[in-house]
Amino acid sequence: MLRAVRRNTELGLLVLGTLVTVGAYLLASLAKDATIPANIGPFLGIVLGLMVAAHVAVRRLAPDADGTLLPIAALLNGLGYVFIVRLDEARATPKNLAGLQSGWIAVGVGAFILTLLFLRRVRDLERYRWTIGLGGVGLLLLPLVPGVGKTINGAKIWVGIGPVSFQPGEFAKILLAVFFASYLVEKRELLAVSSFRLGPLPLPDPKHLGPVLLAWGVSLVVMVAQRDLGSSLLFFALFVALLWVSTERATYLVVGLALFAGGALFAHTQFSHVQQRVDIWLDPWQDPKDDGFQIVESAFAFSAGGVTGTGLNLGSPTRIPYAETDFIFAAVGEELGLVGASAVLLAFLLIVGAGLRIALRTEVPFERLLATGLTVLIGVQSFIIMAGVVRLLPLTGVTLPFVSYGGSSLIANYVLLALLLRISDDTAQRERHRELEGAR
């Protein structure tokens, strides 16, 4: 009975989210030329068809999974698609981002379904920890390989193989989450035992701190060599958060923050591109027509949006370079106002809440840590890009999950979503099995 309720609730929320997406698409089109677009039928078919396919997959392959994650992700994805179409069509020469993003959504939903189909137990991943860990580090550092890595907009986070370009770091984050969860399940007791003190801080045996220092070193390599502050912060935050959760020792939070702050300070004093990024964050008005242009225009966009926004397709977010990727949250803030921006923020908070609820419910240590890590990834990534756009943090090059344009991020986040649903389904099935055994 509970299974049917969850799936029917999920379907109802998906239909509601689809209506919001289609309504936003119609409003954006009516604001442009006061006519209903001729392609509304194919658009509705793509949006509704893909989400129904994902729902059917969950109903068949993970029937006991959480019923809120997929609808929220679908709503964010649909809203992002509407803004991508609106921004692209406002260009003098559109780049057909609508067609490209439709293709990426289809591939992302396909990856979501395949993950649920072939990964029937998340615990099976634990057996391949070192292979997965090496694969994650390899993907993370792949852009540094000569002839393969590509520098775009100052960051060397892309890989080009023939006509195909992608960000391997988006997939590396999932592999590293799996590795960290598996490693810390095995070592959590050793890491929780204090054998010496560093001032007021009790620490474990230094040989067990190797992974912390390794994660710190890799994050610095990403920051310095790839010029990617966002991914550096994301990966180190993932490891420190999992270390804290697995050992229940706040010492690791303090040590982790100190290490990252020290590394960031060193990078700021030694590397001009890091210093430039921080200087723009502190005072974008020192160069408002060049380096600080995006931040300044973003501030104007939020100001123009006010509380309720200018209305879909009635603002001017196209003034912001790369508005469909790094600054799509500013476009939302201008045309949907504080209300719309808060709704997007609330949607991510709901995803984080659902992910942590999944982690709390499972009694399997590996699943608990993995669910926590995956939730930390999507929560921290969302926070650092939105905080960068509103100038709470230095601007980073990461995308807003499910909302921004881009195939790598979309596919990786749909796989991440499938992993959370698989953990949720496994936990619910074990609980039901215990109830049946107890009834006998």
pLDDT tens digit sequence for 315-343: 888 888 888 888 999 999 999 999 999 99
pLDDT of residue 416: 96
Q: Is the pLDDT of residue 70 over 80?
A: yes
pLDDT tens digit sequence for 286-318: 888 888 888 999 999 999 999 999 988 888 888
* pLDDT bucket at 60, cuts 50 / 70 / 90: very high
Range 138-147 average pLDDT = 81
pLDDT of residue 280: 84
Q: Scan for tokens 């723009």, then name that residue.
A: 280
Kindly give, in sequence order, each residue whose CB lies less than 8 Å from that of residue 6, ignoring residues fewer than 6 positions away: 63, 64, 65, 66, 67
Range 256-273 average pLDDT = 74
From CA 150, how far away is CA 162, in angstroms rounded? 12
Kindly give, in sequence order, each residue whose CB lies less than 8 Å from that of residue 55, ignoring residues fewer than 6 positions away: 7, 10, 11, 14, 70
Q: Give the number of other CB atoms < 10 A from CB of residue 201.
A: 15
From CA 245, how far away is CA 247, in angstroms rounded? 6
Q: Is the pLDDT of residue 203 over 70?
A: no
pLDDT of residue 213: 67
Contact 53, 113 (CB under 8 A): yes
pLDDT of residue 48: 78
Here the tokens at position 166 are 């992608």
Q: Which residues of 226-259 are buried (b: 16+ CB within 10 A; e: fewer)?
A: bbbbbbbbbbbbbbbbbbbbbbebebbeebbeeb
Which amino acid would we find at residue 171?
Answer: F
> Between helices 69-89 and 2-33, what is the axis angle to 10°?
10
Coil, strand or helix: which one is 7? helix
pLDDT of residue 382: 94
pLDDT tens digit sequence for 4-27: 788 889 999 998 988 888 888 888
Contact 113, 60 (CB under 8 A): no
Contact 18, 46 (CB under 8 A): no
From CA 174, how far away is CA 21, in angstroms rounded? 28
From CA 42, how far away is CA 421, in angstroms rounded? 29
Range 90-104 average pLDDT = 82
Identify which has the larger pLDDT, 431 or 66.
66
Here the tokens at position 295 are 């931040």
pTM: 0.91
Identify which has the larger pLDDT, 85 or 413.
413
pLDDT tens digit sequence for 361-391: 999 999 999 999 999 999 999 999 999 899 8
Query: Per-residue DSSP letters for 298-333?
Result: HHHHHHHHTTT-S-TTSS-GGGSTTTTTTTHHHHHH
Range 39-43 average pLDDT = 66
pLDDT of residue 154: 61
From CA 194, how far away is CA 185, in angstroms rounded? 18
Averaged pLDDT score across all residues of the chain: 84
Half-sphere exposure of 187 (CA within 13 A, CB side): 18
